[in-house]
Amino acid sequence: MGLDLRLPIGLMFSLIGVLLVGYGAATASDTALYQGSLGLNVNLAWGGVLLAFGGAMLFFALRDRRKP
């Protein structure tokens, strides 16, 4: 059938991860913003998780595409 959902899923999660990492890095010095999460920069942490997951999906999609 040729339909591989890993590529668009990887792109979507990578894009959201990059946006969250960027926002988390830009607001890292604002301690009042992260008081509700016990001082943890949740945007930066979950952005990294989403970016890693999206990268893994892209890796597996592109690796499978090269097979004959």
pLDDT number for residue 3: 77
pLDDT number for residue 1: 56
Q: What is the DSSP letter of 1?
A: -
Residue extents of the structural domains in the chain: 6-65
Q: Which helix (H) or strand (E) holds 23?
A: helix 6-26
Q: What pTM was computed for the model?
A: 0.85
- Would you give the distance in Å from CA 18 to the centre of its chain? 6
Using CA atoms, how far apart are residues 39 and 67, in angstroms rounded to an integer?
Answer: 46
Q: How many CB atoms lie within 10 A of CB 42?
A: 14
Q: Residues 6-33: what's their mean pLDDT?
A: 95
Confidence of residue 64 (pLDDT cuts 50, 70, 90): confident
